[in-house]
Copies of this chain bind each other. A is one copy, B any other.
Amino acid sequence: MDLLIHRDELVRALARAQGIVEKRPTLQILSAVHLQATAEGLRATATDKTMTVIADYQATVRTPGEVAVDASNFFQVAKVLSGDIVTLTLIDSGRLEVRCGASVFKLATFNAADFPVTPALDQARALMMEAGALRRVIDRVHFAVAPDDNRYGLNGAHVEDTAAATGAVVRFVGTDGNRLCWAQAPYTGELGIGRKMLLPRKGLGEIRKLLEGYEGEVSLAFGDRAALLQFPGVMVHVRLLEADFPDYRQVLPASYKRRVLVDREALREALRRVSILATDATNSVRFQFSSEGLVLTARKADAGDVREDVAIELSGEPIAMGFNARFVIEVLSVMEGGRVALELGEALAPCILKDMDDDNALFVVMPVRLD
């Protein structure tokens, strides 16, 4: 293997790869990025066994070949190289020689043949959607997916087909039991529904990163055990979670007793200030809704208390409720519009938050009990 590659292209390849590989792998080879040089350029593959990213990069290949190198080690090296063009050569000692400017690195390698084979996806049906639309869907759902819950089905975003007046729509749903979010976007092609439709949290996050800066269509196919995301030069294979997502529609209240309209930024900033004195464990803030406005209060023993007034429009009876400030702030942060509607029931019933400018997402936050 012998090739020339632009330093920035190499850094991009390795930055992606080292985000995927396991930090403390059970098998050493799983810390490696697999590099394959062909007449078309350089193909880099990284996997943590739950997901595999295969991406193509521009390179001038003089001798085709393949090698596996520790991804994190190679990334550290690539980042500090000075010079535009990097030469990568597999030398007789089996090491990968990295030349750039006045630097010559000789990196230890793994046997490329030991690198795990990416499983094929037994699914021809795929949906197509805009990369920007998928990014927005993930942004509005990812934060609510449980990071590591023993209710295993909560550790991924559930994907489903939803009828809409405008045509076929794909919806992603995430919840950690304290809040629930869904977001959706139109698609063309075919959404192949498999046995389980649960995309794991890490895969969702990595797909979001890979989509950064790309404008164009992506294809997404679901098999029985895995999903495959593709766009020019990038292929992501993600193993689906083998667990059941709860019937989230049961959680959504059918109607509401009170409705509050509020400026999104004003509420978010007020909450940010009040939460400084929210109790550490539950971040609990008291929301007193009345015709005079919303009064937020919090108290922390030994530190003090705080009160903040926020202008609202309330339809319905006054009510006092408690919320974990962080959960509400996170929801408000992924919204984009100026005004938010809060749909409320009784003090301990789920609260629905809607971006007034966006029908394609819905957010639910569970209240906490006030002392």
Contacts and interface: CB of A to CB of B under 8 A. Distances in A.
Interface in A200-251: none
Contacts of A103: 270, 273-274, 306-308
A258 interface: no
Given A102-B310, A308-B102, A303 B107 contact: yes
Most buried by B among A76, A81, A108, A304: A304
Contact of A105 (B107, B272, B306): B306
A333 to B, nearest CB: 15
A134 to B, nearest CB: 34
Interface string A109-128: 00000000000000000000
B73 A303 contact: yes
A304 B95 contact: yes
A334 interface: no
A269 B82 contact: yes
A22 interface: no
**What DSSP secondary structure best describes chain A's contact surface?**
mixed
Contacts of A76: 276
Interface in A266-318: 269-270, 272-274, 276-277, 302-310
A70 interface: yes
Nearest to A266: B102
Given A102-B310, A308-B103, A309-B102, A108 B303 contact: yes
Nearest to A306: B105
A286 to B, nearest CB: 14
A165 interface: no
A80 interface: yes
Interface string A74-92: 0011001110000000000
A180 to B, nearest CB: 28
Interface string A174-216: 0000000000000000000000000000000000000000000
B102 A276 contact: no
Interface string A91-105: 000011000001111
A272 to B, nearest CB: 6
A80 B306 contact: no
A106 B305 contact: yes
B306 A104 contact: yes
B82 A273 contact: yes
A302 B70 CA distance: 10
A95 B105 CA distance: 63
Contact of A106 (B104, B274, B306): B306
B307 A104 contact: yes
A306 to B, nearest CB: 5
Contacts of A80: 272-273, 276
Interface in A36-80: 70, 73, 76-77, 80
A80 B325 CA distance: 15
A276 B309 CA distance: 53
B276 A77 contact: yes
12 contacts: A70-B303, A73-B303, A73-B304, A76-B276, A77-B273, A77-B306, A80-B272, A80-B273, A80-B276, A105-B305, A107-B303, A108-B302
9 tightest A-B CB contacts, nearest first? A107-B304, A105-B306, A80-B273, A102-B309, A104-B307, A108-B304, A103-B308, A106-B304, A73-B303
